[in-house]
Amino acid sequence: MEQKYDFGLVGLGVMGRNFILNVADNGFTAFGNDLDNEKVDALIKEGGDVEKVNASTSAKTFVNALKTPRKIMLLVPAGKVVDSVIEGLLPHLDKGDIIIDGGNSFFTDTDRREAYLETRGISFFGAGVSGGAKGARRGPSIMPGGSKSAYAHIKPIFEAVSAKFNGEPCVAYLGPKSAGNYVKMVHNGIEYGLMQLTSEIYDVLKKGGSFTNEELHATYTKWNAGRLQSFLVEITSKIFIQKDELNLSKIGLLDQISDKAKQKGTGKWTSQNAMDLGIPVPSIDIAVSMREISALKEERIAADKIYDRPKVSPMEKVKLEKLAEEALYFSFIVTYAQGLHQLADASKEYNYQLEIAQIAKIWRAGCIIRAGLLADITKAFQGDKNLPNLLVSPTFVKKVQSTVSSARELVAYGATNGIPLPGLSNSLTYFDAYTSARLPLNLIQAQRDYFGSHTYERLDKEGVFHTEWED
């Protein structure tokens, strides 16, 4: 009898090839599919044994080579490609087969595809995969959403290939429909926030303390060994000392990289959807805006010439480094708090039944936002399932209380010296506003009623009021 394979994967780019090799390393047989002959040949060669890893350019050969119910993962660019790959597979599939979209698809696309495939008897999963190419090869964090009963078929494979934290797999069934893609989207929103914060801190250390790249490397390395331990701080420490192979002078590569940051959209989607649902995520919003401001390079250069900038008054290195560490820790917490708040509210809106502790748990290893902090975040939500916001968790109150004054001092220093720290100041503002029993928005209500008779509520009486304001 012709051999049938355990797992199928469409899209043999770097992520796809690495993922399929990871599957094979874990004792499952896997079959790949790509339109590109070279990619198919490369995978067969790298797999080494066609009984373990095989591939074909033909969708029909690919589908026929898989055990039923077929488990087919797509690692192709998000958007129309996903739909066309699905259409190409459909004529060859049987009822009960499973398609898993591993890309960063927009969550409403996943809902549409799930509903469509359900009519054909096919289970569809949106399963965000985080960890980049290395993660795909050595163990990513996987965020699957879809049919709970169908998940049983893919669970053993996903648990085997995922990253492990203290032996626990960084994958779990998260919820129905697009729950997995939504969680991955917010993961990326948080990723944007943390990246913006680490960049601002680099800027202030450099401008305020004249830290060299070597000193920045040493500082971030030290931080990564402490409570700021995280993938992003770790890679940042390495980035500072990366040699520039195109420039034989001593200048590091980082100094030669253009300051225009690109984006593929997941951070923007997080912000947009948070706005739609009325959930404040200013640390993520500003990270998206900063990528947009960064793209206005020509305008920035012109505007830079018009305005005088305050001369930076240097801060003593040891003091600045301490402030920076505390401010970064504070703002990391506030950023996770916002993203998780978004997940909790979106879960109610879309009926995802998300468990925040479980999400924090599968982010502890493998993904881009993995950090030591996530172990504490997991515990906080395990201890109180209905925690409204990380900021009010007793363990986090202590962490925030002991670092917020440094965030204040650094934001003030940045403002006085013309060093933009928007992620840090938005995090501080979010904290100050979220923890204020009274905000000045009573005035906004009065203004709305003044010019538009929009009515207001009172503190001392129930009901809705309108005043004929005196001109």
Residues numbered 116 to 145 that lie near ligand 6PG (CB under 6 A) are 130-132
In whole angstroms, the minimum distance from the beta carbon of 134 to ligand 6PG comes to: 10
272 binds ligand 6PG (CB under 6 A): no
| Distance in angstroms (rounded) separating the CA atoms of residues 270 and 308 | 35
Amino acid at 135: G
335 binds ligand 6PG (CB under 6 A): no
- Residue of 39, 184, 361, 399 with catalytic role: 184
**Cβ 40 vs Cβ 56: under 8 Å:** yes
Neighbouring C-beta atoms of residue 13, cutoff 10 Å: 16
Applying CB under 6 A, what is the total number of residues that bind ligand 6PG? 12
In whole angstroms, the minimum distance from the beta carbon of 412 to ligand 6PG comes to: 30
* Closest to 129 (Cα-Cα) out of 103, 99, 165, 158: 103
170 binds ligand 6PG (CB under 6 A): no
In whole angstroms, the minimum distance from the beta carbon of 355 to ligand 6PG comes to: 20
Residue 7, SS3 per DSSP? strand
264 binds ligand 6PG (CB under 6 A): yes
In whole angstroms, the minimum distance from the beta carbon of 413 to ligand 6PG comes to: 28
Which residue shows structure tokens 């680490």? Answer: 198
Q: Is residue 184 annotated as a catalytic residue, yes or no?
A: yes
Q: How far apart are the first and last CA of the chain?
A: 90
Residue 464, SS3 per DSSP? coil
Residues numbered 367 to 406 that lie near ligand 6PG (CB under 6 A) are 367-368
In whole angstroms, the minimum distance from the beta carbon of 157 to ligand 6PG comes to: 19
Amino acid at 82: V
**Cβ 190 vs Cβ 335: under 8 Å:** yes
Number of residue whose CB is nearest ligand 6PG: 130
Which residue shows structure tokens 């209905």? Answer: 386
Nearer to ligand 6PG, 327 or 368 (CB): 368
| Distance in angstroms (rounded) separating the CA atoms of residues 220 and 202 | 9
104 binds ligand 6PG (CB under 6 A): yes
Nearer to ligand 6PG, 130 or 219 (CB): 130
Nearer to ligand 6PG, 54 or 104 (CB): 104
Sheet hosting strand 123-130, strand order edge to edge? 53-56, 30-33, 7-10, 71-74, 98-101, 123-130, 141-145
Nearer to ligand 6PG, 133 or 277 (CB): 133
Neighbouring C-beta atoms of residue 471, cutoff 10 Å: 4
| Distance in angstroms (rounded) separating the CA atoms of residues 110 and 180 | 9
163 binds ligand 6PG (CB under 6 A): no
Nearer to ligand 6PG, 131 or 282 (CB): 131
Q: What is the CA radius of gyration of the chain?
A: 25
208 binds ligand 6PG (CB under 6 A): no
191 binds ligand 6PG (CB under 6 A): yes
Q: Is residue 191 annotated as a catalytic residue, yes or no?
A: yes
Nearer to ligand 6PG, 12 or 315 (CB): 12
Binding residues vs ligand 6PG (CB under 6 A): 104, 130-132, 188, 191, 263-264, 266-267, 367-368
Active site residues: 184, 191
